[in-house]
Amino acid sequence: MIWSTLGFVFFYMPITFVANYSPGWLISATWQLTIICGLLLAPLFYEYVQINHQQIKVRERISWRSVGTSSIMVLGVVLVQIPQVSHIEIQVFIMSVLPLIIGAFCYPLGNRKMMILVDNQLNTLERIYGMTLVTLPIWVVIFICGVLKSGPPSSNQLLQTFIVAVFSGIIATTLFFYATNMVKHNQAKLGAVESTQATEIIFTLIGEMLLLDLPLPSTVSMIGIIIITLGIFIYSFMNSIIKENNNMTL
């Protein structure tokens, strides 16, 4: 239950909280910090290596080459945030960034720990169902607190929640968890899979402009978004080169 809570509750709750302070595209851009956060979590995991016919548990190491590559995306996040700092109070800025940083660590940590815990006993759908089921009491408590504070949700909010639940909670989460499960024994490849989340910035920005009539971000923010998007391609390209070099060495 602990890892399910970290992977789901402490992922969705901070994002929902931050939505009160920031537009969707800004949240999506800042969320890309989860890529470098996921890489920094490597020492919390172990791998088994064969030495003298014995299996020895060895702590995973941080892939500093991957961290260096992913820092390009962090630069993009900083550029995206610069115009926001000049327009809002520092307290509001912290409230819109700090929860995302917490979620950026909790999401990959909970997901990876659950993959190790269940190993191959559960497939992707079963793992998602189990994580949702054990965290359901927490969601009920959060729902009750929301009703007591702000009243029941409107029909429009229910519709939006349903759409998010289907496309993000079911379709996107299932595909993402399936991909991470395929490379669960390689921290660098896990980081590469997690970096694909950067594409959500583009879709969020386009969606908000078309559906909510939001204006284009500032020039500096647009440059930051472009850098983040380029960073994901560079990161994936570098990982493919490393993989080819390792295969040639073997």
d(CA 165, CA 174): 12
Looking at the predicted structure, is the pLDDT value of residue 153 above 80?
yes
The per-residue pLDDT for 86 is 67
What is the model's pLDDT at position 148? Answer: 92
pLDDT of residue 134 exceeding 70, the answer is yes
pLDDT digits (tens, 9 = 90+) for 18-59: 888 777 777 777 777 787 888 888 888 877 777 777 777 788
Across the chain, what does the average pLDDT equal? 78
Q: What pLDDT does residue 28 have?
A: 75
DSSP state, residue 47: E
Q: Give the chain's domain count.
A: 1
- Measured at the CA of 148, the angle between CA 141 and CA 13, to 5 degrees, comes to 45
Retrieve residue 249's tokens. Answer: 């060495």
Q: Where are the alpha helices (DSSP H) in the chain?
A: 2-4, 10-18, 24-30, 33-40, 64-85, 90-118, 124-150, 155-164, 173-182, 187-195, 200-211, 219-249
Give 235 or 244, the one with higher predicted confidence: 235
Domain range for 48? 2-249
| The residue to which tokens 């064969």 are assigned | 50
- For the stretch 182-220, pLDDT in tens is 776 666 666 667 666 666 777 777 777 777 777 777 788
Q: What is the pLDDT of residue 16?
A: 85
- The residue among 110 and 89 whose pLDDT is bigger is 110
On whether the CB atoms of residues 142 and 85 are closer than 8 A, the answer is: no
What percentage of residues in the chain have a pLDDT greater than 90?
A: 4
Question: CA–CA distance from 121 to each of 115, 124, 180, 184, 248 (Å)?
Answer: 10, 10, 16, 14, 33
Question: Structure pTM?
Answer: 0.73
Residues comprising the chain, all counted: 250
